[in-house]
Structure 1
Amino acid sequence: MARTAKKAPSAKKAFEELSRRGPHDVLHGDLALVGLPGIVCTPRSGLGLPAVAFGHGWLQPPRRYLGLMRHLASWGIVVAAPATQRGVFASHRLFATDLRTALDVCVGVRLGDGGISVDEQRLGVAGHAMGGGCAVLAAAEDERVRAVATLAAAETRPSAFEAANRVRVPGLHVAAGNDLLAPPVANAEPIARAWGGPVQLRIVKKASHLGFAEGRHWTQLVLHGRSEYATQRVTRALLTAFFLRTLAGDRRGEALLGADVGGSSINHDHTRGDLAA
């Protein structure tokens, strides 16, 4: 009897699955132990894992993204977030360098109790707002980077718009429809239009600039928006699907990447139906 091919999950089922915690237990630690202030989250064990360096938003501490980091780690992805350049006059150039250094740490240091290692061919960068723009800068300068994801990406100095043209790997840019600080039309859209590789821009319609950040922080008094669970849920599902697909070759979230789900809609798609490099 011929074996029936397993049917791929629908976008709705993929969203439900990938927005929930993954199968791995999660460890988290302090990057300062290896000379770079910040947080690292990993699966409890695994060799040759993918890794992502995550950049915080302007004035934001990395702990505001700990839920996202732990979520990705629960799906088998190491995530490191530098806690540098947190002042008012943050250097975008130096922060992009710190993201690359975080990848160096992931690749060069045996994490956990020695039972965790990262494959240098499976690296990505991501970030929120300023951190998103700096992730683009880092990818433009680091040939090891295989995928880039941004949340409410903001323009940087040097320009993330100009750097985007030099990035040839898949990019997923998620913007906030109600963002008054980094509106999509002036920030994420120019990055997506200039992108040198497969790219998708999504708009989370009801999200604000700080909707991607977790918990409370004094910057809510001076910046636009506040923490939003619905925004974070769709973000977790989308970034999990994207990095599993591009860094691990796991297609379980493929339907999700091609559909309008969780209050998000595809605004610009130049992926030729596939976000894999």
Structure 2
Amino acid sequence: MTRTAVPARPTKGNSAKQALEELSRPGPHTALRGDLGMVGIPGIVFAPEEGLGLPAVAFGHDWLQPAERYADLLRHLATWGFVTATPSNHRGLLPSAQGFAADLRTALDVCVGVRLGDGRVSVDSRRTALAGHGIGGGAAMLAAAKRPRLSAVVTIAAVQSHPDVVESARSLTVPVLHLAAGRDTIAPAPGHADQIAAAAGGPVRLRTLPKAQHTGFLDGRHWSDLLLAGHPESKTRKLTRALVTAFLLKHLCEEDRVDVLVDGKVPGTVLEDLGED
């Protein structure tokens, strides 16, 4: 019989620096990789080796980017107990924002509705999130506005590629984390993420990585790096792994041991004041 597994718990009582080091490293679960092609959507999926009632995250890629450039982050989340999936279509010069959002919702539906890992992995529909980088962050916001029973949203260097992104932000009441890059020339900070965060209809956190570039969050090399005038940054990816993992553990798993990375001062980042009560 398959035992019920839960996402790993970080060590209690860590300082921000200690928590950052812990959550930026792989968790205790073995991550397995699969293919979304079984439902007609190109893309990849990662999951722990086994576990029932797990949380799940669907992730949207940026303009022109292959899903493979996010495999490091998605695999990392799987080692901490999350099922993760990213569709790899809508990579043309003029992607459909609404079509991309629809595919993100479908990817999440696949995670919830299909037993993975030869039936040893299942997802709890009450513990799901949408996330994305660049235009994928905007698509995640659009998808979230039409997704019931969602637990959280995460955007990374979000781009307002569609006018309804800000309107979607107003309609959301679930917790949202926006990560912005201080040296971003594609979605400058302050800029896109600030406007989306300011329109939030629910609890929101905007955290800026002052030294990060727009493409610093990516893994590996791609011809688009020349077009976007950037490159992957190991420190940016390390911070992102820890911050995203902490936020999702907090809001999908009710884990309070990560509060220092969700609401506190984290080295290498600035938690922006949005004038909340």
TM-score scaled by structure 2? 0.93
Identity between Structure 1 and Structure 2 (%)? 54
Note if contact 2:198-2:274 (Cα within 8 Å) is conserved in structure 1.
no
Within 2, Cα distance between the matches of 1:7 and 1:181? 38
Equivalence map 1:27-176=2 (5 Å): 27-176=32-181
Note if contact 1:40-1:80 (Cα within 8 Å) is conserved in structure 2.
yes
* Shift in Å, 1:50: 0.3
Within 2, Cα distance between the matches of 1:41 and 1:7? 27
Describe the superposition over 1:78-111 as per-residue Cα deviations: whole angstroms up to 9, x where unpaired: 1000011000010001000000000110011000
Question: Residue 275 of structure 1 corresponds to which residue in structure 2?
Answer: none
Unmatched 5+ stretches in structure 2:
1-10
Note if contact 2:16-2:267 (Cα within 8 Å) is conserved in structure 1.
no
Note if contact 1:179-1:208 (Cα within 8 Å) is conserved in structure 2.
yes
One-letter amino acid of the counterpart of residue 133, structure 2 = H
* Shift in Å, 1:67: 0.3
Q: Secondary structure of the residue that 1:153 maps to in structure 2? A: coil
Q: Secondary structure of the residue that 1:252 maps to in structure 2? A: helix
* Shift in Å, 1:76: 0.2
Describe the superposition over 1:209-259 as per-residue Cα deviations: whole angstroms up to 9, x where unpaired: 100111100001111311001000000000000000100112221112122
Equivalence map 1:187-202=2 (5 Å): 187-202=192-207
One-letter amino acid of the counterpart of residue 177, structure 2 = L
* Shift in Å, 1:77: 0.5
1:247 matched to 2:247: no
Within 1, Cα distance between the matches of 2:102 and 2:163? 12
Q: Secondary structure of the residue that 2:112 maps to in structure 1? A: helix
Kindly tell me: are residues 87 and 257 of structure 1, through their superposed partners in 2, closer, same or farther at Cα, counting changes over 3 Å?
Answer: same
Within 2, Cα distance between the matches of 1:68 and 1:225? 19
Kindly tell me: are residues 7 and 103 of structure 1, through their superposed partners in 2, closer, same or farther at Cα, counting changes over 3 Å?
Answer: closer
Within 2, Cα distance between the matches of 1:262 and 1:128? 22
TM-score scaled by structure 1? 0.93
Note if contact 1:199-1:271 (Cα within 8 Å) is conserved in structure 2.
no
Number of aligned positions between the proteins = 267
> In the alignment, which of 173, 184, 207 is matched to residue 179 of structure 1?
184
* Shift in Å, 1:35: 1.8
Q: Secondary structure of the residue that 2:118 maps to in structure 1? A: coil
Q: Secondary structure of the residue that 1:154 maps to in structure 2? A: coil
Q: Secondary structure of the residue that 2:145 maps to in structure 1? A: helix
Kindly tell me: are residues 158 and 97 of structure 1, through their superposed partners in 2, closer, same or farther at Cα, counting changes over 3 Å?
Answer: farther
Note if contact 1:10-1:256 (Cα within 8 Å) is conserved in structure 2.
no
Within 1, Cα distance between the matches of 2:208 and 2:27? 25
* Shift in Å, 1:184: 2.2
Note if contact 2:67-2:88 (Cα within 8 Å) is conserved in structure 1.
yes
Question: Residue 233 of structure 2 corresponds to which residue in structure 1?
Answer: 228
Within 1, Cα distance between the matches of 2:267 and 2:43? 30
* Shift in Å, 1:205: 0.6
* Shift in Å, 1:161: 1.2
